[in-house]
Amino acid sequence: MEATGFSLWLMPEGEAFTRFDELISRLASRHATPAFLPHLTLLGGLAAPEPVVVALSARLAQSASCLRLETADVVHSDAYFRAVVVRVKPVPELIDFRARALAAVGLEGGPAFEPHLSLLYGQLEVGQRETIVKEVGRDFPDAFDVRRLDVYSTAGTVDRWSRAARLPLADRRSS
């Protein structure tokens, strides 16, 4: 499966990143699916040129405070890039960040934002996905910190994706 354009990813920090990364790698290996870095996609499929996306993202990152996000449950779907996901509680700061990101790139409306962190990509049978959800259980962090926004070129297959920019979020907690 191939994606297009650029994506804005909120990246978990520290121990949470490590735990999610290990879980994603283990599931990818076990189910012969692509491995990827743990992330929460703020926006995807942006078709603007890389310098434009990076510049807009840099301004957006500087306008946002670091986030503490809580996880919810594990669910599955037919969508390739959401075969198995951990839902993330839609706190107001995250919803606002998403709205500002949409406005920054001139997008309005669209599908509802369902914040999540994917654990497995792929086209798997329903029964297989249900079994994976049960196996994962609560074997993931209850919460994670986000201190940066990464811009990824997500054109093509997962193995071709690459980071275009790593942008720190403004740390306003000490202000």
- Report the candidate in 121, 137, 127 with the shortest Cα–Cα distance to residue 2: 121
Specify the 3-state DSSP secondary structure of 13.
Answer: coil
- Report the candidate in 10, 161, 18 with the shortest Cα–Cα distance to residue 91: 10
Whole-angstrom distance, CA of residue 36 vs CA of residue 62: 26
CA 117 to each of CA 75, 123, 141: distance values in angstroms, whole numbers, following the listed order: 11, 17, 11
Output the tens digit of pLDDT for each of the chain's 175 residues. Answer: 777 799 999 999 999 999 999 999 999 999 999 999 999 999 998 999 999 999 999 999 999 999 999 999 999 999 999 999 999 999 999 999 999 999 888 887 667 899 999 999 999 999 999 999 999 998 999 999 999 999 999 999 999 999 999 999 987 554 4
What CATH architecture is 6-69+89-119+143-168? Alpha-Beta Complex (3.90)
Domain boundaries, given as residue ranges, for the chain:
6-69+89-119+143-168
Whole-angstrom distance, CA of residue 70 vs CA of residue 48: 31
Question: What residues pair up with 84 in beta bridges, in sequence order?
Answer: 76, 120
CB 56 within 8 A of CB 64: no
CB 139 within 8 A of CB 66: no
Predicted pLDDT at 107: 81
CB 166 within 8 A of CB 152: no
Residues 6+ apart with CB under 8 A from 25: 35
One-letter identity of residue 69? L
Whole-angstrom distance, CA of residue 58 vs CA of residue 37: 21
Predicted pLDDT at 50: 94
One-letter identity of residue 24? I
Tokens coding 34: 């692509």
Predicted pLDDT at 174: 43
